[in-house]
Structure formats: C-alpha cells, structure tokens
Amino acid sequence: MTQPSSGFSELNLAAPLVKAVTELGYETVLPIQEACIPPLLAGRDVLGLAQTGTGKTGAFALPLLSRIELAVKAPQVLVLTPTRELAIQVAEAFQAYARHLKDFHVLPIYGGQSYAFQFNQLRRGPHVVVGTPGRIQDHLDRGTLDLSHIISVVLDEADEMLRMGFVDAVESILASTPDTRQMALFSATMPAPIKRISKRHLKDPVEIRIETKTMTAENIEQVYLVVPHAAKFEALVRVLETESYDGVIIFARTRLATTDLAERLSARGYDVAALSGEVTQIGRERIVKRLKSGKLDMIVATDVAARGLDVERISLVINYDIPGDSEAYIHRIGRTGRVGRYGKAILFASPRERHLLAAIERLTRQPLKRMEVPSHDAVTRKRVDKFREDLVALMATQSMSFFEELSFEFMEAMKIDALQLAAGVMCYAQKDQPLQAQDTGALAGGNWDEPRRGSRDRNEGPRERGPAPGPAPGRHGRNMILYRIDAGSADGVEVRNIVGAVTNESGLRNRFIGQIRIHPDHSTIELPDDLPPAMIEHLKKVYVGGKAMQMSAASEEQANVHHAGAPAHAAAAGKAKSEERPPRAPKPDRRNPEKRMTDKPKPDKPKPAKAKAAKGKKPAKNKDKGKPKRD
C-alpha cells in the first residue's frame, strides 16, 4: 500500500487551503489524495477506483478549489452524487476546506428542498454546485442553471448512480457542459457501463488505483452468522446486547422491513429510527442530526437511504438482510471504519443464503469469519457486567453513609442477613430489565448448517410455514412462495401492472419477483419466502386492475396449474367460460366458396328440384310475378 505523504504543504495547494486542512486536524495525506491532487491541479482527467471512506472527497475538492476564480460569480465546479445525503456531505466538505477563501459559495441541490430557495441561491452565482442528477437535470430543463462556465465535473460514486438508474441523466448533464471541461470519475467498483462512460467522456485520464490487499478497509472486522429467518430477530437482539458499539446502522431490504424492524426494536427498549425513501428530507436530516449528536443510537435503513452517511459514531453495521449483490455489501459496510477508524460489520445469512458469502469474499478479497449467535448465558453475563460497572461508578461518586445505616435497619426489621438484603435490592433494581436473560426458545433446535431443499416428496406432508405448494427455488437461489391475487385478465390486469404494484408499494426489486401468470378471474405470483408479514398485509390492500389484490397463499391446484405453465383459460376455468359465451359462426368452406354453412345445421332431406335455377335462366317463380294470388 502506498505510504501517506508527510503533509499537504508539499502538494502545491493554495495557501488558504493548506491552512484550512491544518485547522481541521488533517496531519497526513491519504493515499488517494496523494495520487489524485497533482494531476487534478494540472488540469488532467482522473479515473479513480476507491471505496467509500478513503478520503476521496478531499482528493478532488482541494485541487479543484485551487483552480476556481472567486471573481467569477458562476458555477465553475459541478459534482454529481447519487443521493441527497452525499450531496450535503460533499458540499459541507467544500465549505470547510474553503473557510479562508473570501466570498466563496457552494450550493447543494437535491430533491425535497424548496425550489424557491434553490432559485435564489443560483441567482447568487455559486462557485461550486453539488447535486443529484435528477434535480440538476430539472434545473437545466427550467433554464435556471447555467453550466457554460464549468471548468471541472466530478462523478462521485458513479457505480451507485448507475445502480439507481441515473446513467441517462448523467449523459444529458455532461452534454450540457463545455467540451473543454476537466472531469474526474470516482467509483468503488468498475462495472462495464462505468468503463464505457469513462471512455466516452474522459480524455486521456490518469487512472488511480490504490493498491490494497482487500476491496474493503482492513480496519473493518467482518463476520457472519447463520440463522434461520424465523429466528433472525431474536438473534439480532442478542447481538445488540452483547456487542460493544457507539452508533449502529442496521440494513434491511425494503421500506416496510425498516419500519417493522424499527418498531420491534423500539418495543424492546432501543432508541431507534427507520430511514427509508418514505421519510421526508426534513425528517431525514433530523434523524441524521440526532444520530451524530448521540441522541439516537441506531437506525434501520435501506441501501439507498443510507448512502452518503458519514457519522463518526457508527462503529457497527449489521446486514440484517443480505444485500442483493456483492457490490452493495461494500457500500454498506463502508458506513463504518471511515478514514482509519475501527468498525465492525456483521452479516446475517440464512442456511440457504450461504452460497452468497463466497461471492462477497471473492469481491472483497477478504475471508468472512463465522461467529456464533450469542448464547443465553452470554447475554446474562453481559447484563450482569453492565450492572456491576454502573454500581461501581455510582458508589464511587455518591456517599453511602445514609444507605449503610438504612441497610442495618432493614436487616433487623426483616430478620435477614446482608447477603439476603443485597440479593433483594438487586432483584428490585432490575425492574423491567431482568439481569437474567429469558430463553424464548426461538433459537433452539434445528440443523442450521443444512440448506433447505427447494422441493420435497409429496408423501412428506405439509411444511410448517408457507402455503401448500411450499417454497421453491427461484431466481438468484431464493426460495419462493406462490400467492394468489384476486384480479385477473377479466379485470384488464397485465403482468406489468402486478410488477409495478409490488415493486412500488414494497420496495422489492423486480429481480426478486418470480413467475407471474394471469388467469381470467385471478393471477398467481412467486415472491421470496422471507418477506415480512407486514409487507404481505400491506400488499393485500394494494389495488391493481381496480381491485384490491387480496394476496393469499395459493392452493395446491393453483400451484399445479402455475408450475405447469397452463394458459389462463385452461382446464375447468376455460370450460366454464366457453359455456357462457355464444358459439361463433362457422367459417365458409374455402374449397367451395358458393357453399355456406349456417349456424344451425339443417336436417338431411332431399332438396326441391327447383331449388337451384339453371344458369342463365330466371327462376320459375318470377313468371307469376305481378299476378294476383288465389285463395
């Protein structure tokens, strides 16, 4: 690994910037900063591969601040970030570094903030604009943001912007900047689309790859534990009781899962808040502020909501739900161990998810160590140790004279000795938090190392959980459960309607949705078997095709039709439908165009001789035309 430089004064930065970083306590230059600052100062394009928490914000902010002209009241540096939180963080870093640059102005632009405020600030002419692609594109469309004076563009965490679907917006924004502008692209990973963007927009870039033994920080301890889905929450509580931490981020897969988990932890006495896309920007800022100040100990967040968080107190990251891909894991654990600080990351994996651990180890190039779920006795010992520490601290600061006299009085009045009195006092002091942990039995029994089978013999009997068909292996190795939806083709429902309703309302990515089949009066869908019950209850009330989905476990007959791939109108359902509609008119005989078939076949009987007139002659009945009829 490249050794840090001795100081920023050797990098030809402007004197006010060197003074600012010194006041901020930055004594050494980090490897990514030492590699990026010289080429950026020289006006070169830079392609940097660096994970979160390596100090890359200073790597591009310091040299670009040295290049701006304070006399020009127009945006000269544009930084694009995937999330609002990261935009605020980067803007704060620019402001801190530029504290000695007179009249410097930086503006963060992101969704959820007042347009009127942003319009006023843009009219002031900020030197640096930091924003999310969506809101930046919006201002460009409105004509309220002028990028004609831009000299430098930075794409920060480009891989995450790709994952969130901002590629088209980024391309459009880059097309609005001058061709002569300098560009820097930073990414924790380098997937193919990011490589294509770099080739298209970067001119002879300097490639910066900080050589590390692992893709994740070495100061982050990474462990995993294997626990069945039904016992995950009890295991989480035991981990929180036995681990030492300051601040915690717990990652869940969906918005509903964050709310459900936060409510359950709050009921156990934890000071916790849910952070997801449903939280307003003001609410998000309030939560982050409480976390930084120590008024909040932990948050339960989705991947997107936690992007850009840089809180020094976060010393523990818990992956309660395993991430959908290995790259997301890197971004998750990057919330701890920031810039050299110690951190710990714990990954929860069910027995059937163990194969995903190998992919994470290959990407991080670091083995994951297995930890066991803390035992009942370990939780009890931790509580007792905490009680003893608090008691020692209390007795060291408070006078015990009154209580010593009171103890003798109680012993004489109650006819007990000192040991009995001490035991009684400790029992009373524990109140709602017993020192001896209660064993709920949720973690007892079962061979957790054996992955659950995706199929079973029909003679085995029904499973303990899930509908009659049982979980079956689906996409990405996930076990699936088949649900019935109370809406079908007769209601105008299509597959895209169901996918949109499920993804929008639950936050579940469409990659985790299995097969969907549309029938006349209902539909069937495969969903992961570890979805929270609250999510299923919520989806029951979601409307599709003008009807509430009313999701329920599919019957065995419906499962057979679903897995056989039968069309919606097959079997009895199709027969019933065919009986309701009138028969279609038969098609004409193509071999004899003059011959027509009627809807109702005529009885077989000889045709009259005059039924068919001779060719070229009029029918005989025409001879009597105009004559009076006889009675």
Read off the pLDDT of residues 187-231 as tens digits, 9 standing for 90 and up: 877 778 888 888 889 999 999 886 554 455 567 888 999 888 888
pLDDT band at 424 (very low <50, low <70, confident <90, very high): confident
Residue 83: both structure tokens together: 């999330």
What are the distances in angstroms from CA 374 to CA 174, 234, 238, 243? 51, 10, 6, 9
Whether the pLDDT of residue 343 is over 50: the answer is: yes
CB 245 within 8 A of CB 268: no
> Which CATH number goes with the domain that contains 516?
3.30.70.330
> How high is the pLDDT of residue 325?
63
Residue 331 has pLDDT above 60, yes or no: yes
* DSSP per position, 267-312: HTT--EEEESTTS-HHHHHHHHHHHHHTS--EEEE-HHHHTT---T
Q: Is the pTM of this model over 0.85?
A: no
pLDDT at 58 over 70: yes
**188 and 256 part of one domain:** no
Is residue 240 domain-shared with residue 382, that is, in the same domain?
A: no
Structural domains in the chain (count): 4
Q: Which of 385, 407, 430 is the last residue of a domain?
A: 430
Residues 6+ away with beta carbon under 8 Å from 122? 107, 139, 144, 145
User: CATH number of the domain that 130 lies in?
Assistant: 3.40.50.300
* C-alpha–C-alpha distance, residues 452 and 30, integer Å: 46
* Residue scoring higher pLDDT (616 or 41): 41
Lowest mean pLDDT among 292-296, 302-306, 366-370, 382-386: 302-306
Q: What are phi and psi of 354, to 5 degrees?
A: -65, -25
The values of phi and psi at residue 270, to 5°, are -85, 145
- Compare 504 and 13 and report the one with higher pLDDT: 13
Query: Residue 260 carries which side chain, given as an amino acid letter?
Result: D
Render the burial of 79-114: b for 16+ CB within 10 Å, e for the rest: bbbbbbbbbbbbbebbbebbeebeebbbbbbbeebe
Bridge pairing between strands 220-226 and 369-370: parallel
Question: How many other C-beta atoms can be found within 10 angstroms of the C-beta atom of residue 168?
Answer: 10
The pLDDT tens digits for 347-389 are 998 877 777 787 788 777 778 889 888 887 888 888 888 888 8
Please indicate, yes or no, if residue 576 is contained in any of the structural domains.
Answer: no
In this structure, is residue 237 part of a structural domain?
A: yes
C-alpha 247/C-alpha 52 separation (Å) is 18
Report the run of H or E that residue 77 belongs to, with start and end: strand 77-80
Nearest-angstrom CA–CA distance, 379 and 243: 10
Nearest CA-CA partner of 352 in 239, 187, 437, 227: 227
> Do 199 and 287 reside in the same domain of the chain?
no
CA-closest candidate to residue 275, choices 254, 247, 245: 254
Are 184 and 309 contained in the same domain? no
Residue numbers of the domain that contains 409: 377-430
Percent of the chain surpassing pLDDT 90: 25
The answer on 355 and 478 residing in a single domain is no
Confidence of residue 513 (pLDDT cuts 50, 70, 90): confident
Q: Are 19 and 100 within 8 A, CB to CB?
A: yes
Q: How far apart are CA 58 and CA 90, in angstroms?
A: 9
Residues 373, 347: contact at Cβ < 8 Å? no
- Asked whether 329 and 360 are in contact (CB, 8 A), the reply is yes
Calculate Rg over the CA atoms of the chain.
35
Task: Tell whether 365 and 396 lie within a shared domain.
Answer: no
Is 294 found in the same domain as 411? no
Q: Which of 153, 188, 209 is the last residue of a domain?
A: 209
Which residue did the predictor score with more confidence, 81 or 466? 81
- 3-class secondary structure, 530: coil
What pLDDT does 376 receive? 75
User: Is the domain of 39 the same as that of 172?
Assistant: yes
Angle at 341 between CA 247 and CA 311, to 5 degrees: 40
Q: Are residues 331 and 418 in the same domain?
A: no
Task: Indicate whether 368 and 382 sit together in one domain.
Answer: no
pLDDT of 597 over the 80 cut: no
pLDDT band for 288, please (50, 70, 90 cuts): confident
Q: What is the pLDDT averaged over residues 566-586?
A: 41
Q: Does residue 602 fall inside a structural domain?
A: no
According to the model, what pLDDT value does residue 442 have? 56
